[in-house]
Amino acid sequence: MASNQAIAINPSLLAWARAESGYALDRIAKRLNVKQERVEAWEKGERQPTLRQVENLARFFHRPLSVFFMPRPPQLPPLATEYRRLPDVEPGHESPELRLALRQMIARRENALNLMGELGERAPEFSLRAHLRDSPIKVGQRLRLAMSVDAAAQLNWANEWEAWRSWRAAVEQLGVLVFQFPKVSLVEVRGLALLRTPMPVAAVNGKEIPEAKAFTLCHEVVHLMLAAENEEASAARERRGGNEWLEVERFAEVAASHALVPEDALRGVIGQLGLHRAEWGIENVRRVAKKFRLTPLATATRLRESGFMTWAQYNQWRALWQAYVAALPPRKSGFATPMEKAVNRAGRPFAQLVLEALSANRITSVDAARYLDLKFEHFDKLRAHLTTGPGDTSADE
């Protein structure tokens, strides 16, 4: 069939695929370089697209071409039944970029469980729990102990990339899949958690700077701990009001800050830097932040928690910091190879699982390439990277 020849599709499937992907009609029309009225006519069945246009739609929606020829739309649960409530995301109104990222991470987790079943491996258990009646400080300390991150080693990490790799590996050994997701605005979401078990997911926006990723990751793990005790529900089922929900977010923030910075280590660094009686301006907070390989904002939060700053001082500092950041030139993105992107997004455990299944002939090379979103020609470099490479050395974007 010629690519410019009209082809009969099920119009209801086109409307479904667009709605599931979160795109408005005008964006589809712009992508295909047609008028919006033409897309409306396709969805009503008044006109038919060409084969080339259907192929472009399939690529744009990240759906198989066959979906447009099904007799009826598949019955899928809402995405908001999968992820925790997010402060600025209304369930069912996620951006197209976030919807795609969620679908990909949900599929990746399901693939991981299926591969483990094929290989006869048992999915690890995420055993950490937390109640909102608990002290968030104690919850943070419990998380820190479970991650087995030594304070002396933390203070000797060479750079922010080594810090991020170490925190990510520490969380992964808890039975959590750690993913990064691309192309989603930081304004919409910095991190999220998929609440399914076993192997829940803690995910970090790939646009985050490396110093910020650890706090975001630990914040999401605390939400997983709360969900494990039914203190949280998915976004579609969460019924708390605004202020009540902010208390949950505040709990996770405090717990994450204590997981990242133990009290003794914090006081030791402050003493070493001679800052016991210092005023907490931007530069002094940055000095402490550099020691722990965290952002100054996360560090200021921790200083507030230990009484080095009052809430009034913290709010004043935060306003100064936001003005300072706004005046900085845009930060240049790093470069990542296709192999590095695959590992950064999916994580080393998932990449290793795919290679193990491929070596055991449980999946084909086509399957492996699809699971990692990586061309098979890069697999030799991937194997070498997982054996000797440091991982997470470049920006994801």
CB 346 within 8 A of CB 179: yes
| 235 CB-side CA count, 13 A | 21
Which whole number is the average pLDDT over 79-107?
96
Which whole number is the average pLDDT over 376-389?
87
- pLDDT band (50, 70, 90) for residue 328: confident
Which whole number is the average pLDDT over 357-380?
95
Asked if residue 206 has pLDDT above 90, the reply is: yes
Asked if residue 389 has pLDDT above 70, the reply is: no
Read off the tokens for 309: 């700053």
Cα separation of 44 and 234, whole Å?
Answer: 34
Cα separation of 388 and 380, whole Å?
Answer: 12
**More confident: 360 or 391:** 360
Q: For the segment 272-320, what is each residue's pLDDT rounded down to a tens digit?
A: 999 988 899 999 999 999 999 999 999 999 999 999 999 999 999 999 9
pLDDT of residue 157: 97
Domain topology for 11-66: 434 Repressor (Amino-terminal Domain) (1.10.260)
pLDDT of residue 330: 79
Compute φ and ψ for 114, nearest 5 degrees: -65, -40
Q: For the segment 115-171, what is each residue's pLDDT rounded down to a tens digit?
A: 999 999 999 999 999 999 999 999 999 999 999 999 999 999 999 999 999 999 999
Alpha carbon 176 to its chain centroid, in Å, reads: 12
For the chain, the average pLDDT equals 94
pLDDT of residue 242: 83
Q: Which helix (H) or strand (E) holds 203?
A: strand 201-205
Cα separation of 188 and 238, whole Å?
Answer: 19
Burial level of 183, CB count in 10 A (0-12/13-18/19+)? middle
pLDDT of residue 392: 59
pLDDT of residue 32: 94
Asked if residue 334 has pLDDT above 80, the reply is: no
Asked if residue 58 has pLDDT above 60, the reply is: yes
Q: What is the pTM of this model?
A: 0.94
Distant-in-sequence contacts of 14-18, Cβ < 8 A, 24+ apart: 14/42, 14/43, 14/57, 14/68, 15/43, 16/73, 17/57, 17/61, 17/63, 17/67, 17/68, 18/43, 18/61
Asked if residue 395 has pLDDT above 80, the reply is: no
Q: What are the residue ranges spanned by the domains of the chain?
A: 11-66, 263-327, 338-388
Q: For the segment 231-240, what is each residue's pLDDT rounded down to a tens digit?
A: 999 999 999 9
| 109 CB-side CA count, 13 A | 25
pLDDT of residue 249: 96
Cα separation of 221 and 139, whole Å?
Answer: 11
Percentage, residues of the chain above pLDDT 90 = 89
CB 202 within 8 A of CB 226: no
Q: Dihedral sign, CA of 29, 33, 35, 37?
A: negative
Q: For the segment 207-232, what is each residue's pLDDT rounded down to a tens digit?
A: 999 999 999 999 999 999 999 999 99
Percentage, residues of the chain above pLDDT 70 = 97
pLDDT of residue 397: 52
